[in-house]
Amino acid sequence: MLPIHVMAEINRCDASLKPLCSKIDKVVQPSNVLGASIAITQGDGKISYATFNKTPEGKKITPRMKFEVGSITKTFTAARILQLIDEGAFELDTSIAEILPPTEVFFSSKIPGNLTIRNLLSMNAGLYDYVASYRVMSKDLSAFWPLRNMTSGGYFPNDPKVGEHCYGSTNSLLLGLVIDKLNGGNGLTKKPLIRSYRKGLFKQAGLKNTFMGGYQNQFPISSCTNVNYFDTVENVPPKRCANNPDFYLYTGNGKASNDSKTAYLSFAGPAGGMISTSGDIAKWFDWLFTKGPGQKMVESTILIGERRSGDKGFITWLKCGQTPWPYADPKLKKLENGYTIEIATNQYGDKTVKSYGFVGGSLTFNSHVVHLPEYGTSIAILLNNFNVPTESLPFSTTVQLYMIADIIIEHVIHSSNPR
């Protein structure tokens, strides 16, 4: 018998997206993606939505549901740092050691005096990605992880090689500590850091459904994990559990004594701890590049590689001391790196389009946000995908993020006039 293709359940498809929802459905359905929430802004303040499928408990995915957005958090952290520079708190070439003395933060030796804010923003600080460390991912993540303890606890396996370009969360972790310190914090509590995000970013961009994960009392949101946030959060689509009831996220295969059904997002912090709705993330990038410091984030760029489909040897952001993570892309994209922004120039028919974006992922959530400066359009795609063992990365879901983005971008450029 031939396999039957079951279409995804389209819960919502606003008028401006009607021509696209069936195409997006064909991308969403063949995978283990459990739910998708998509939002588009086009400069007039109006947001269009499309949502697909259900949670494991049978609830339809809606625009109100909040997803982990993973590394998109890094764009918030970088933007707040650039705001603080504009406010005169420090400069791009200020040494990190001037703000975070060795008594507070150290690696296997100490922070080099030539490691600067610019290095961290450009991700050429030569820092190993702490969240890829077995020492981190094998830890019982039900424990609270203060920012200061994450650095002083020795979770950096090697000394920085300043000038070596490689992508990693450690850069944003240290930038978060800078923000915390300049707001009177000591890296041990939630208030200084989140207060700074709220004042400089959330309030200014009109974000009412965006929160930083971690640092608060536990409460269950799904059948397999509890997640803890800075703020009480409702309408979070639960993560899908593996068929094995003994399999738990984050801490291994569920068989070790330190495996837990509970996970804090505090270990991701300013590098990947945000949760939000698709509408807020689209609104965030719209504000970032119209009123916020978005243009400053793309002023200084370096070519970091290409992404290809059908090629196992993808070139991508290198990760210090590790094998590169091969994020696939259905189209060739030459990528440049600004200050924690991915810059791509692509051909859609006879039109050449520049885009600013970022991809995020946690275990079972994947996200992509794109801004098209010539068209005044921002696109957010949030996916709640089937969970995978901690040693695996759902590459297929990353491909789907780019495929969905390409469908929407092609529609935008052929139905709108550039500015």
131: confidence class by pLDDT, cuts 50, 70, 90: confident
Report angle CA 96, 101, 105 to the nearest 5 degrees.
Answer: 85
One domain for residues 129 and 96: yes
Residue 219 domain-assigned?
no
One domain for residues 67 and 89: no
One-letter amino acid of 74 = K
In DSSP terms, 161 is beta-bridged to none
Residue 264 domain-assigned?
no
Least confident range of 99-108, 128-137, 385-394: 385-394
- Residue 59's CB is within 10 A of a number of other CB atoms, namely 13
Please state, in angstroms and rounded to a whole number, the distance separating the CA atoms of residues 260 and 252: 9
- Residue 197's CB is within 10 A of a number of other CB atoms, namely 25
One domain for residues 299 and 399: yes
For residue 101, what is the domain's CATH number?
3.40.710.10
Largest CA-CA distance found in the chain, in angstroms, rounded: 68
One domain for residues 66 and 79: no
Phi, psi of 260 (to 5 degrees): -140, 150
Look up the domain containing 24 and give its range: 12-71+228-248+276-415
380: confidence class by pLDDT, cuts 50, 70, 90: very high
One domain for residues 207 and 115: yes
One domain for residues 239 and 368: yes
Strands 219-220 and 67-68: unpaired
One domain for residues 77 and 202: yes
Residue 347 domain-assigned?
yes
Residue 391 domain-assigned?
yes
Residue 393: what pLDDT?
A: 42
One domain for residues 34 and 133: no
pTM of the model: 0.86
One domain for residues 67 and 77: no
Identify which of 199, 191, 215 has the alpha carbon closest to the alpha carbon of residue 79.
199
Residue 220 domain-assigned?
no
Please state, in angstroms and rounded to a whole number, the distance separating the CA atoms of residues 176 and 139: 22
Rounded to the nearest integer, the mean pLDDT of the chain is 76
235-293 pLDDT, tens digit per residue, is 544 443 433 333 333 333 333 333 334 456 778 889 988 888 999 999 999 999 999 99
Three-state DSSP state, 17? helix
- Residue 333's CB is within 10 A of a number of other CB atoms, namely 21
340: confidence class by pLDDT, cuts 50, 70, 90: very high
Residue 119: what pLDDT?
A: 93
Please state, in angstroms and rounded to a whole number, the distance separating the CA atoms of residues 166 and 280: 29
One domain for residues 62 and 88: no
User: Which are the contacts of 391, defined by CB distance < 8 A and separation ≥ 6?
Assistant: none
Higher local confidence (pLDDT), 233 or 190: 190
- Cα dist from 326 to 70, 129, 315, 322, 396, whole Å: 17, 16, 7, 12, 11
Cβ atoms of 390 and 252 closer than 8 Å: yes
Residue 5 domain-assigned?
no
Domain count of the fold of the chain: 2
One domain for residues 125 and 191: yes
One domain for residues 48 and 142: no
Residue 267 domain-assigned?
no
Residue 261 domain-assigned?
no
